[in-house]
């Protein structure tokens, strides 16, 4: 490709809200076989909401929710915001907390009214040797609905199962359909539960799912996709996504996401709308075939 054709291509991309930080990215995009997306905040809005709360025997719903929100007030995870908002909507008074702790990719914990409260993924509570069998049926149903099941333990006992759900962004189904028409495989990489991720992937027609990926495991998930399908373009928005954006054959960051993700990326999507991805790919093909 000549420098001029790349300039023209990147100029046209900019009109579409696609910013090429490196000229080579236009060429690299053309070689991609699979387009992998982060789920939360990329395929979805990244603004989860509490949809379900079922308490175990002997526990009161409002008390449990107040305990959850008290702990989550200390967390910056989008899930935390959803749970605090739910307690606020119900005008619950939140008890004081101490000894707050975040277990990355798993959940959070703190002391509330003299008892230990843990909130997080099933793997988190299982790692604390808690038996979640009473909630198994509910968890399966929630995941099959594309919701993320979470558990709460109070004083070392499983107290409740809850679920949060996040809306798929408006342009996402169309973007995926366009990528398929262009002949790409589409993949999802997420820290979320396998059942939940599979349900969302099935609904969106996504071909490959890497779920329950720990924040430092996204690069490895990418390598797995590359071994199976070939060169990978990765689209993400979060701090967690920065290493994968740098490691991908092409990294595309959502411009409304975190600065760290943008800095690690080759391409920045100025708007959150994923329809810009197939547009950028079409442009990369058109620009580079003009040169021949
Ligand atoms: P993702 O970006 O896909 O949500 P994370 O690594 O941030 O990935 O989180 C993975 C999982 O860990 C979440 O789906 C959730 O089950 C659990 N988790 C993380 N932070 C919290 C929190 N503050 N409260 C409850 N659960 C959490
Ligand atoms: Mg994200």
Q: State whether the beta carbon of 106 lies less than 6 angstroms from ligand 1.
A: yes
CATH topology for the 3-45+168-291 domain: Rossmann fold (3.40.50)
The values of phi and psi at residue 285, to 5°, are: -65, -45
Residues of the chain with CATH 3.40.1110.10: 49-165
Please tell me the predicted confidence (pLDDT) of residue 291: 52
Residues 285, 30: contact at Cβ < 8 Å?
A: yes
pLDDT > 90: percent of the chain? 82
Residue 46 has pLDDT above 50, yes or no: yes
User: Which residue in this structure is represented by tokens 């060169």?
Assistant: 231
Give ion ligand 2 contacts, CB < 5 A. Answer: 38, 40-41, 237-238
Distance 192 CA to ligand 1 centre (A): 7
Residue 292 has pLDDT above 50, yes or no: no
Residues 283, 12: contact at Cβ < 8 Å?
A: yes
Pocket test for ligand 1, best of 43, 107, 190 (most atoms within 8 A of CB): 107
Supply the residues annotated as catalytic. Answer: 38
Q: State whether the beta carbon of 152 lies less than 6 angstroms from ligand 1.
A: no
Residue 186 has pLDDT above 90, yes or no: yes
pLDDT by residue (tens digit) across 121-165?
A: 999 999 999 999 999 999 999 999 999 999 999 999 999 999 999
Here the ipTM equals 0.95
Q: Which atom of ligand 1 approaches the CA of 121 most closely?
A: 16
pLDDT by residue (tens digit) across 63-85?
A: 999 999 999 999 999 999 999 99
Residues of the chain with CATH 3.40.50.1000: 3-45+168-291
Q: Which ligand is nearest to the CA of 107?
A: 1
User: Which residue in this structure is represented by tokens 């277990």?
Assistant: 103
pTM: 0.91
Pocket test for ligand 1, best of 75, 121, 237 (most atoms within 8 A of CB): 121
Please tell me the predicted confidence (pLDDT) of residue 191: 93
Residue 201 has pLDDT above 50, yes or no: yes
Q: Each residue of 193-210: b (16+ CB within 10 Å) or e?
A: bebbbbbbbeebebbbbb
Q: Which two tokens stand for residue 110?
A: 């703190």
Q: How far apart are CA 64 and CA 54, in angstroms?
A: 10
pLDDT by residue (tens digit) across 240-286?
A: 899 999 999 999 999 888 899 999 999 999 998 999 999 999 988 88
Please tell me the predicted confidence (pLDDT) of residue 253: 95
Residue nearest to atom 9 of ligand 1 (CA): 105
Q: Which two tokens stand for residue 145?
A: 């609905």
Q: Each residue of 251-281: b (16+ CB within 10 Å) or e?
A: bbbbbebbebbbebbbbbbeebbbbbbbbbb
Q: How far apart are CA 31 and CA 87, in angstroms?
A: 48
CATH 3.40.1110.10 fits 49-165, yes or no: yes
Please tell me the predicted confidence (pLDDT) of residue 279: 93
- The whole-chain average pLDDT of the chain stands at 93
In SS3 terms, the chain reads as: CCHHHHHHHHHHHHHCCEEECCCHHHHHHHCCCEEEEEHHHHHECCCCEEEEEEECCCCCHHHHHHHHHHHHCCCCCHHHHHHHHHHHHCCCCCCCEEEEEEECCCEEEEEECCEEEEEECHHHHHHCCCCCHHHHHHHHHHHHCCCEEEEEEECCEEEEEEEEECCECCCHHHHHHHHHHCCCEEEEECCCCHHHHHHHHHHHCCCEEECCCCHHHHHHHHHHHHHHHCCEEEEECCHHHHHHHHHCCEEEEECCCCHHHHHHCCEEECCCCCCHHHHHHHHHHHHHHHHC
């Amino acid at each position: 490709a000549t420098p001029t054709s790349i300039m023209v291509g990147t100029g046209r991309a900019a009109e579409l809200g696609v910013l090429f930080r490196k000229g080579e990215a236009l060429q690299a995009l053309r070689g991609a076989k699979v387009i992998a997306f982060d789920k939360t905040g990329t395929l979805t809005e990244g603004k989860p909401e509490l949809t379900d709360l079922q308490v175990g025997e002997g526990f009161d719903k409002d008390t449990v929710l107040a305990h959850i929100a008290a702990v989550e007030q200390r967390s910056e995870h989008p899930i935390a915001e959803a749970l605090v908002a739910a307690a606020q909507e119900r005008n619950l008074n939140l008890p004081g907390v101490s000894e707050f702790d975040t277990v990355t990719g798993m959940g959070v914990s703190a002391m509330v009214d003299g008892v230990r409260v843990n909130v997080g993924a099933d793997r988190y509570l299982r790692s604390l040797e808690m038996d979640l069998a009473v909630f198994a049926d509910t968890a399966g149903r929630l995941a099959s609905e594309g919701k993320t099941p979470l558990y709460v333990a109070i004083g070392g006992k499983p107290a409740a199962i809850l679920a949060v759900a996040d809306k798929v962004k408006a342009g996402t189904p169309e973007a995926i359909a366009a990528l398929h028409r262009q002949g790409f495989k589409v993949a999802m990489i997420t820290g979320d539960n396998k059942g939940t991720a599979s349900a969302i992937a099935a609904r969106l027609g996504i071909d490959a799912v890497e779920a329950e990926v720990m924040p430092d495991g996204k690069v490895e998930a990418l390598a797995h996709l590359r071994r199976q399908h070939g060169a990978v373009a990765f689209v993400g928005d979060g701090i967690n996504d920065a290493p994968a954006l740098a490691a991908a054959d092409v990294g595309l960051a959502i411009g409304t996401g975190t600065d760290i993700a943008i800095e690690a990326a080759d391409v920045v999507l100025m708007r959150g709308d994923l329809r810009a991805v197939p547009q950028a790919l079409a442009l990369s093909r058109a620009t580079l075939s003009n040169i021949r």
